[in-house]
């Protein structure tokens, strides 16, 4: 099966070469981080988690979103999703791998990470996150392997697939819930300590992930013979619409509770994000871009004409993806630390090495997606030019 990844194609190999170069640059900076310490990042005593943990959180959502095509196909017999499930599962594999890499990149002593297994600590949410993320990786690897193998032999998938699919649906919800619990259980950080955090994480994940899947399908239409079909794309775009709507609704809920209750310690974090606090406003422009993109996306998605037109749908999906990326992959983690529990403000911005290491990990994810998709599509004979 794996030899399918090695077949000849110039465009494919040059893309792989670009990714390998990006990964190489990331690896170079990671080696420096290992030597010098995490001091080469923009993180500090006050903002002790930054870009790495934020990317991890965002990508858990992308991984969990595979369930949005798997669930309708297996539970509601939405046949047009048949072609998409494998793409969703393979995307989940790449995303979870990136999540794990981002966590490792964030560790001060990565060579000791097995201490998490040698000294299991069920009271720590991080322990459970390790369990569910690795479990999700195994489940998706198993399911996609079985699907590709069955397709190659022209058989129906083995009977054990169905129960494992049901498990994967529950498991997908669990990975993002547990990831939200890392934050929402901390009394020290009022910004995160909200029961709506896990639902919000899931809603934003089910918008950003499927939006990415639509974009990937539209790219695959150009570079291969794979066509997800207009009906499938239109159904996924409806999922994106509802999920994005619910996501924005949850954020508004948060704003009401925080500002109507008028508790300073809860309001300060939102003020820092959207208007700045005591002259500190590094994230303000970003957050407003996120807001504008969210409004634009909802406008384009709710209107059936713009939702069904693939050009405007592309814009809408990009807007959803980047709006949520800014919200979760930049604002959410950092604002929890600003101001700190003493009310002091230290701002954060990722450094060049930090961004290069992150880019390298994204490169690894893109490489995994590229190789796995190529295998899956060539088995189907849909590779094309």
Partner 1 sequence: MSIDRRFFFKLAGLTALAAEVPGAGATPENSGKKGAGEAPKTTRWGIAIDLPLCHEHPDCRVCMEACNKGHNVPSIPDSRHEVKWIWKEKFSHAFPGQTGRYLSSELAEKPVMMLCNHCDAPACVGVCPTQATWKREDGVVMMDWHRCIGCRYCIAACPYGSRSFNWVDPRGYLKEQNADFPTRSTGVVEKCNLCEERLAENKPPLCVETCPYGAIHYGDLSKPDSPLRKLLDERFAIRRKPGLGTEPQVYYLV
Query: Is 44 or 257 the residue whose CB approaches partner 1 more closely?
Result: 44
Smallest separation, CB 384 to partner 1 (Å): 45
Tell me the Cα Rg of the chain: 21
User: Min. distance of Cβ 129 from partner 1 in angstroms?
Assistant: 9
Cβ closer to partner 1: 8 or 109? 109
The smaller minimum CB distance to partner 1, of residues 109 and 261, is found at 109
Q: How far apart are CA 76 and CA 294, in angstroms?
A: 29
Residue 115 C-beta: closest distance to partner 1, Å: 4
Q: Which is nearer to partner 1, 183 or 325 (CB)?
A: 183
Binding site for partner 1 (CB under 8 A): 36-39, 43-46, 48-49, 103, 106-110, 112-113, 115-116, 118-119, 121, 123-127, 130, 182-183, 186-189, 264-265, 336-337, 340-344, 346
Q: Smaller CB distance to partner 1: residue 231 or 344?
A: 344
Choice between 7 and 48, CB closer to partner 1: 48
Q: Which is nearer to partner 1, 63 or 130 (CB)?
A: 130
Least CB distance to partner 1 at residue 275 (A): 20
CB of 94 to partner 1, least distance (A): 23
Task: Return the structure tokens found at 27.
Answer: 């690896």
- In the complex, the smallest distance separating the C-beta of residue 201 from partner 1, rounded to whole angstroms, is 17
Provide the minimum distance between the beta carbon of 14 and partner 1 in the complex, in angstroms, as a whole number: 38
Q: How far is the CB of 282 from partner 1 (least distance, A)?
A: 14
Cβ distance to partner 1 smaller for residue 2 or 342: 342
**Closest to 299 (Cα-Cα) out of 286, 291, 61, 284:** 291
């Amino acid at each position: 099966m794996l030899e399918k990844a090695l077949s000849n194609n110039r465009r494919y190999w040059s893309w792989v070469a670009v990714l390998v170069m990006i990964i190489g640059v990331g690896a170079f900076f990671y080696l420096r981080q290992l030597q010098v310490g995490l001091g080469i990042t923009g993180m500090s005593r006050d903002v002790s988690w930054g870009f790495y943990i934020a990317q991890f959180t965002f990508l858990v959502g992308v991984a969990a979103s595979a369930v949005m095509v798997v669930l309708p196909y297996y539970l509601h017999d939405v046949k047009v999703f048949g072609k998409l499930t494998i793409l969703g599962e393979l995307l989940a594999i790449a995303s979870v791998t990136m999540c794990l890499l981002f966590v490792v990149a964030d560790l001060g002593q990565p060579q000791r990470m097995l201490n998490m297994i040698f000294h299991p600590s069920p009271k720590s949410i991080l322990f459970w996150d390790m369990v569910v993320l690795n479990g999700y990786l195994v489940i998706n690897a198993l399911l996609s392997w079985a699907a590709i193998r069955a397709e190659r032999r022209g058989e129906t998938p083995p009977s054990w697939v169905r129960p494992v699919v049901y498990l994967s649906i529950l498991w997908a919800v669990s990975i993002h819930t547990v990831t939200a619990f890392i934050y929402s259980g901390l009394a020290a950080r009022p910004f995160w300590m909200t029961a709506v955090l896990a639902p919000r994480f899931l809603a934003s994940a089910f918008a950003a992930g499927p939006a990415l899947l639509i974009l990937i399908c539209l790219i695959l239409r150009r570079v291969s013979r794979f066509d997800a079909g207009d009906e499938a794309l239109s159904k996924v775009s409806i999922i994106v619409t509802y999920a994005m709507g619910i996501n924005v609704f949850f954020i508004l809920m948060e704003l009401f509770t925080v500002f109507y209750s008028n508790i300073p310690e809860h309001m300060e974090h939102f003020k820092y994000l959207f208007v700045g606090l005591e002259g500190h406003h590094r994230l303000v422009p970003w957050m407003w871009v996120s807001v504008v993109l969210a409004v634009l996306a909802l406008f384009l998605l709710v209107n059936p004409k713009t939702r069904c037109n693939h050009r405007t749908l592309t814009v809408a999906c990009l807007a959803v993806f980047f709006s949520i990326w800014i919200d979760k992959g930049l604002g959410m983690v950092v604002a929890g630390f600003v101001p700190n529990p003493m009310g002091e403000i230290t701002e954060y911005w990722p450094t060049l090495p930090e961004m290069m290491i992150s880019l390298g990990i994204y490169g690894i994810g893109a490489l995994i997606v590229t190789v796995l998709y190529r295998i899956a599509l060539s088995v189907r004979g849909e590779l094309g030019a």
